Amino acid sequence: MEDYNNTVVESVVSDKYFKELEVAVKAVQMACLLCQRIQQTLLSKTNDHVQSKDDNSPVTIADWSVQGIVSWVLSEALGSDFVSIVAEEDVQELSKVGAFGLLEAIVKTVNECLAEAPRFGLRAPVMALSTSEVLEAIDRCNSIGGSSGRFWVLDPVDGTLGFLRGDQYAIALALIEDGEPVLGVLGCPNYPVKKECLSYHNGYRRIISRLTSLSSESWDRGCVVYASKDCGNAWMQPLLHKEKKFIWPNSARQIKVSTVDNPALATFCEPVEKANSSHSFTAGVAHSVGLRNQPLRIHSMVKYAAIARGDAEVFMKFARAGYKEKIWDHAAGVVIVQEAGGVVTDAGGRPLCFSKGMYLEGLDRGIIACAGARLHEKIVKAVDASWNSSSL
């Protein structure tokens, strides 16, 4: 384990948001273990614990359970009067008559996960939470955000489609203060810590999930990346292993963006689904700046983790006209990429705006995250040059 050292201890201990960061990382670590278990169950048998939302997007037992445990852990550790959360899921579906089995499964999952809190140095509930307490924890995430004060932003499972496919997904938690993201934590349960464990499909590039090669002693599956604003550092920690105790903040190591600034050597990443971002538009932009590598298509905010770790140099997302990006799909990733040395803006080169409620209001066309300013400038210019002839 020579890669890991304790420089992180001094750096994190002096952090202004020390307490919040510690609790957030622990909550996300717990959520990652919960998701790994559920993903294995969902993949190994047909299961009716997957629902379709009004926009036809999927939501699973894991989305609600993670929202419940993160909400409960933050409130317990920081005081419920001080915790306000904007999150993706609501309890409407769970309150329907036919949802009893699903709700029962969520309550069981939440309690199993919270019972492990002492391994993370957190308090577990004195008694297992009742159904109404679990619903209350999920429902408490009803903040509407805004431009003043503090609120947390949670995407309990980002890339639910990737989660259901046994592929990449993330648990994303950020703290926003006076409209600016100040902490970002991304749990990436299928994203190997070690670069040598990354493998790619041919054709276009994908990170292969390693569900089949999980061994309790190998450090090759799953990590949490995190950063605190203006520290100039971003960190990565492996997920906690069976029976081990989580020692904060040991075993983290610093991550940095790639130093590659030659487009010919750079790799860009983008959403897997072309419904979420135009693959043809980004292919045109890539061609015009001289990006030659096949795109790396990854579900979820793991794309931001890939940029922060130096596994790719550019992330582009251009949703169809009319789609409004949500703050929980970007807040954590933005802090982490910036603190790892990267640049994140909209296509007009402006910072993303997290202060106007649940949407990234005023977003100019799409999102561009780059390892460095030179690449970023080239991509912004290329987007401008291609925009008018695109059908976006």
Active site residues: 63, 160
329 annotated ligand-binding residue: yes
Work out how close the CB of 253 gets to ligand PPS at its nearest, in angstroms, rounded to a whole number: 26
Can you tell me the distance from the alpha carbon of 207 to that of 292, in angstroms, rounded to the nearest whole number? Answer: 18
DSSP class of residue 207 equals B
Work out which of 60, 160, 190, 251 binds ligand PPS, going by CB under 6 A.
160
Residue with the shortest CB distance to ligand PPS: 273
316 and 282 Cβ atoms separated by less than 8 Å = yes
Which of ligand PPS, Mg ion, none does 299 bind, CB closer than 5 to 8 A by kind?
ligand PPS
Can you tell me the distance from the alpha carbon of 32 to that of 214, in angstroms, rounded to the nearest whole number? Answer: 14
For Mg ion, the closer of residues 157 and 224 by Cβ is 157
Work out how close the CB of 188 gets to Mg ion at its nearest, in angstroms, rounded to a whole number: 13
Work out how close the CB of 20 gets to ligand PPS at its nearest, in angstroms, rounded to a whole number: 23
DSSP class of residue 312 equals -
Q: Which token pair is 263? A: 């487009």
Report residue 154: phi and psi, to 5°.
-130, 125
The contact pattern for ligand PPS, residues 299-338, with x = CB under 6 A and - = no contact, is xx------------------x---x--x--x---------
176 and 153 Cβ atoms separated by less than 8 Å = yes
Work out how close the CB of 10 gets to ligand PPS at its nearest, in angstroms, rounded to a whole number: 35
31 binds ligand PPS (CB under 6 A): no
- Kind and range of the H or E element at 193? none
The interface region with ligand PPS, picked from 95-103, 132-140, 154-162, 283-291 by CB under 6 A, is 154-162
Distance of CA 268 to the CA centre of its chain: 18
Strands (E), 197-329: 223-228, 234-238, 253-255, 268-270, 296-297, 314-317
Q: Which residues contact 355 (CB under 8 A, 6 or more apart)?
A: 145, 146, 147, 176, 178, 179, 180
**# residues contacting ligand PPS (CB under 6 A):** 19
Contact set with Mg ion (CB under 5 A): 57, 88, 155, 157-158, 160, 329
71 binds ligand PPS (CB under 6 A): no
Work out how close the CB of 286 gets to ligand PPS at its nearest, in angstroms, rounded to a whole number: 17
DSSP class of residue 368 equals E
241 binds ligand PPS (CB under 6 A): no
Near ligand PPS in 243-282, by CB under 6 A? 271-273, 275-276
Work out which of 68, 162, 189, 295 binds ligand PPS, going by CB under 6 A.
162
Place of tokens 């700046």: 289
173 and 224 Cβ atoms separated by less than 8 Å = no
220 annotated ligand-binding residue: no
Distances (CA, A) of 220 to 169, 196, 214: 16, 9, 8
DSSP labels for 137-157?
HHHT-B----SSSEEEEEEEE
193 binds ligand PPS (CB under 6 A): no
151 and 145 Cβ atoms separated by less than 8 Å = yes
The interface region with ligand PPS, picked from 68-76, 153-161, 232-240, 252-260 by CB under 6 A, is 153-161
Work out how close the CB of 272 gets to ligand PPS at its nearest, in angstroms, rounded to a whole number: 4
- Return binding residues: 88, 155, 158, 329
Query: Under the rule (CB under 6 A), what is the footprint of ligand PPS?
Result: 57, 88, 155, 158-162, 271-273, 275-276, 299-300, 319, 323, 326, 329
* Residue list for the binding site for Mg(2+): 88, 155, 158, 329
